[in-house]
Amino acid sequence: MDKRTIEKVLTEQLEELAVLKESSLCPRDEESQVDFDSGLAQVVIGVRRSGKSILCHNVLMKLGEKFAYADFDDERFKDLTSDDLDNVLEVLYKINGDFKVLLLDEIQNVDGWHLFVNRLLRKKMRIMITGSNAKLLSAELATYLTGRHEPIVLYPFSFKEFCLYKKVDTDKMTTSAEGFRRAAFDEYMQQGGFPELMKIKNHTKYIGTLVDNILKRDIEKRYKIKYRLAFENIAQHLLNVSPATMDFTELSNLVGLKSVHTTENYVKYLNEAYLIKLLQKYSPKSKKRIYDNKVYTIDVALMSEREGTLAGDNLGWRLETLVYIELLRRKTPLEQDVFYYKKRPESEECDFVVCKKNKVLQAIQVCYDITEDKTRKREINGLISAAKGTKCTDLLLITDHERADIEGQGYKIAIRPAYEWMLEK
């Protein structure tokens, strides 16, 4: 690609960035994970349209240093090759002047990009990279940057960020403020956290396009998927039934795939692209954690805002999904792991156990409504089963609205409304 074309594209991108700087950008909690002093490339990964570029711009504006920016997801760069990257760098110096920080948006679209980035890192350039393509999300990232990167996972808006965007006060303890937070949570549970859904009316079209791009652009093209119809049926089925325990043999039979190994790979690709997230069963033995994974969508919008969805209005499933994704957000800064607990197939299940190394810190059960005695007993028994099996004493039952402290079989159990738990400091 000739330099004149490169300069035209980058100049227009710079003008778009200037407009973005003047707009109000919602700060994200993950900004605190960025560490330029480490000398590593800061790689922001996550599902498409979760706000990765905005997060990077927030960080760089607060940094207060001059930086350069190139967006390789621009269709005008579709023919760009690794041989053109030096020309891109030269043009960036021409239009920006000197800089020591470089933001590369979706650079994985250029084959051989990692050689360019590694060279700049050796020259002490501070680099931020964003990516949603499976090429950047997969385990290959470690190979590409040979230990020179720090991954930062960004999910759609948390409830706290949703409130911030909506200008809902999260601290006041007045009756009106409490009511506004409850109303905001009801909206969040229905709409989900994709930032752009706040500004558009046709959610179904938006989510349909998003899912289609993830399947076709991020996975099918990248991995050269042979059985595309079966692959897409797997994706749609998992989005329809989540949260649910997954059996690869049953899934293979459902979509007509003879190879269970192929099915396992297809699910792995969906997980790496952050369309779904898997949850392992708790066990001190590694080999037992491989089987009986549960599957969750990355955001509740994917449960209902797609054509042909029938089960997306189940409030219990939606609440459980929101809690799991919130636990994943907290996982990295708190250095914790999350599992579900089920001792035997016929045993009571506990939705989540939170661990740090080999210690279970907390058992969490999620149920939208526990007013019926049968439901309440089932959820409490699941918590107590996990407590007995893991020697955990911090037991939490998250509901839509109830708040209480109770005892059962000698265990203390805290019952808290979901919106309150999600706003904990």
The reported pLDDT for the residue numbered 108 is 87
263 vs 20: which has the higher pLDDT: 263
Average pLDDT over residues 390-413: 97
Q: Residue 300: inside a domain, yes or no?
A: yes
Alpha carbon 216 to chain centroid distance? 19
- Same domain, yes or no: 111 and 126: yes
The answer to whether residue 311 scores a pLDDT higher than 60 is: no
Work out the pLDDT band at 127, boundaries 50, 70, 90: very high
Q: Residue 131: inside a domain, yes or no?
A: yes
- Same domain, yes or no: 9 and 117: yes
Q: Residue 159: inside a domain, yes or no?
A: no
- Same domain, yes or no: 366 and 405: yes
Q: Residue 309: inside a domain, yes or no?
A: yes
The reported pLDDT for the residue numbered 134 is 62
Q: Give residue-wise pLDDT tens across range 32-81.
A: 999 999 999 999 999 999 999 899 999 998 998 999 999 998 999 999 99
The reported pLDDT for the residue numbered 197 is 96
Q: Residue 189: inside a domain, yes or no?
A: no
- Same domain, yes or no: 17 and 148: yes
Q: Residue 414: inside a domain, yes or no?
A: yes
The answer to whether residue 8 scores a pLDDT higher than 80 is: yes
The CATH number assigned to the domain holding 95 equals 3.40.50.300
The CATH number assigned to the domain holding 279 equals 1.10.10.10
48 vs 17: which has the higher pLDDT: 48
Average pLDDT over residues 222-251: 96
- Same domain, yes or no: 293 and 342: no
The answer to whether residue 138 scores a pLDDT higher than 60 is: no
- Same domain, yes or no: 224 and 358: no
Q: Residue 196: inside a domain, yes or no?
A: no
- Same domain, yes or no: 343 and 383: yes
Cα–Cα distance, 299 to 156 (Å, whole number) = 7
At CA 161, angle to CA 157 and CA 166, rounded to 5? Answer: 110
Alpha carbon 322 to chain centroid distance? 11
The answer to whether residue 310 scores a pLDDT higher than 70 is: no
- Same domain, yes or no: 262 and 135: no
- Same domain, yes or no: 113 and 61: yes
> Considering the chain, what is the average pLDDT of its residues?
93
Q: Residue 179: inside a domain, yes or no?
A: no
Helices (H) and strands (E) in the chain, counts: 17, 14
Q: Is there a contact between 88 and 70 (Cβ–Cβ < 8 Å)?
A: yes
- Choosing from 279, 313, 347, the residue where a domain stops is 313
The answer to whether residue 4 scores a pLDDT higher than 90 is: yes
- Choosing from 313, 339, 368, the residue where a domain stops is 313
Domain span holding position 416: 318-422
40 vs 141: which has the higher pLDDT: 40
Share of the chain above pLDDT 90, in %: 81
166 vs 309: which has the higher pLDDT: 166
Q: Give residue-wise pLDDT tens across range 77-103.
A: 999 999 999 999 999 999 999 999 999
The reported pLDDT for the residue numbered 25 is 72
The reported pLDDT for the residue numbered 142 is 67
pTM across the whole model: 0.94
- Choosing from 260, 282, 313, the residue where a domain stops is 313
Average pLDDT over residues 101-126: 94
The answer to whether residue 349 scores a pLDDT higher than 90 is: yes
Tell the residue number behind the tokens 């004493």, with chain if given. 393
The CATH number assigned to the domain holding 402 equals 3.40.1350
Q: Which secondary-structure segment (H or E) carries 248?
A: helix 248-255
- Same domain, yes or no: 279 and 390: no
Number of domains comprising the chain: 3
- Same domain, yes or no: 13 and 120: yes
Average pLDDT over residues 183-211: 96
- Same domain, yes or no: 288 and 328: no
Cα–Cα distance, 413 to 367 (Å, whole number) = 14
